Amino acid sequence: MKTHPLPVYLQRFFTERLATQLKASPNTIASYRDTFRLLLRYAAARLRRSPTELRVADIDADLVGLFLADIESTRGNSARSRNARLSAIRSFFKYVAVNEPQLLHHCQRILAMPPKRHEKRAIDYLSRAEIEALIAAPALSNWHGRRDRALLALALQTGLRVSELIGLSCGDIVLGAGAHVRSMGKGRKERATPIRKDSVKMLRDWLTERGGADADPVFVSNRNQRLSRDAVEQIVRRHVQAASVKCPSLKKKRVTPHVLRHSAAMQLLQNGVDRTVIALWLGHESVETTQMYIHADIQLKEKAMARTRPIKAPPGRYQPGDKLLAFLEAL
């Protein structure tokens, strides 16, 4: 009788399914890897067997449910993180279900597990004054300041993701007539984003000082290596703190590299750019994704409200006559 050892299917999932068939991005593979590292450790501790001794049948819906609850309670993961872990697990069991029909019922129970609902907060973004203060924050008297200003200006004007920013090579930036930057986004979709004249000057000055070949990274560390995600987050955090001296409203905001992306999108929306164009600009898979910027734009809502007429109705509040109704109204 076939035992369906878990290591065999998991290794094939990463090498054949993700890397070869789907050509998943390094970020996707790393996220799935981290999920299964956590899951295997949890399953090994609960079942008292080493990960290499586990079978596919050992990872059932009950164990997955307990694992998801555990990462929320012990690791403090949010509902979004929990759903991302569940998505990785479901992807693996879809692969198993196709390759092993005998395990179809076992896989279906896991595939039927729903994601957890969570609050959808309004997105954070910077105003025009905050954007200008942030770009002006880096000191141009040193190499780091000139690098950081070019990075912030490019991020706030193009709306590139962090992975796209740190993945840029010198040859990806085209200056002169039709200046633009080429980037590889999610789903291995390549796109070209135009660059404004003010950003062109900053980038030209930086690339001249950088002096790298076409294949060399645009933004580098002290060791002449590509910047990491953490390094970009530290750069943003440091200059937001400096900019908040002249722009106090920044003190009330939690600014991350992704907030710079949102800020670029909001600048486009507030200047009348159609959301279809914004979706193309940002590399969104669907135009509906851009809907969140419309929800967050208070100026757009204020303009809409200005076109409405006040309701001519006498002031006052309805008072129920019945005691039971009054009790219910007071709840």
Query: Which domain CATH number covers 292?
Result: 1.10.443.10
Asked whether residue 273 is domain-assigned, the answer is yes
Distance from C-alpha of 281 to C-alpha of 192, rounded to nearest angstrom: 8
Asked whether residue 314 is domain-assigned, the answer is no
Query: Tokens 């799935």 sit at which residue?
Result: 32
Query: Tokens 């000057």 sit at which residue?
Result: 201
Asked whether residue 192 is domain-assigned, the answer is yes
Of 49, 79, 111, which residue is a domain's last? Answer: 111
Active-site annotation, residues: 161, 186, 258, 261, 284, 293
* Mean pLDDT across 67-76: 93
Give me 330's structure tokens. Answer: 């007071």
Give the ranges where the chain is alpha helix by DSSP (H): 6-12, 26-47, 61-73, 79-99, 104-111, 128-136, 143-158, 162-166, 197-210, 229-243, 257-270, 275-282, 291-296, 298-306, 323-330
Asked whether residue 133 is domain-assigned, the answer is yes
Asked whether residue 40 is domain-assigned, the answer is yes
Domain membership of residue 91 as a residue range: 6-111
Closest CA to 3 of 61, 57, 52, 62: 57
Q: In this predicted model, what pLDDT tens digit does every residue of 73-128 receive, in sequence order?
A: 999 888 989 999 999 999 999 999 999 999 999 999 999 999 998 777 778 889 99
Q: In this predicted model, what pLDDT tens digit does every residue of 172-185 receive, in sequence order?
A: 999 888 889 998 87
Q: In this predicted model, what pLDDT tens digit does every residue of 140-177 receive, in sequence order?
A: 889 999 999 999 999 999 999 998 999 999 999 998 88
Q: How many domains, the chain?
A: 2
Asked whether residue 118 is domain-assigned, the answer is no
- Same structural domain for residues 209 and 263? yes
- Same structural domain for residues 231 and 85? no
Asked whether residue 254 is domain-assigned, the answer is yes
- Same structural domain for residues 136 and 276? yes
- Same structural domain for residues 53 and 133? no
Asked whether residue 312 is domain-assigned, the answer is no
Strand partners, 181: 173, 193
Cα distances (angstroms) measured from residue 113 to each of 29, 97, 119, 158: 22, 15, 19, 38
pLDDT for the residue numbered 97: 94
- Same structural domain for residues 70 and 149? no
Taking the model in full, what pTM does it have? 0.71
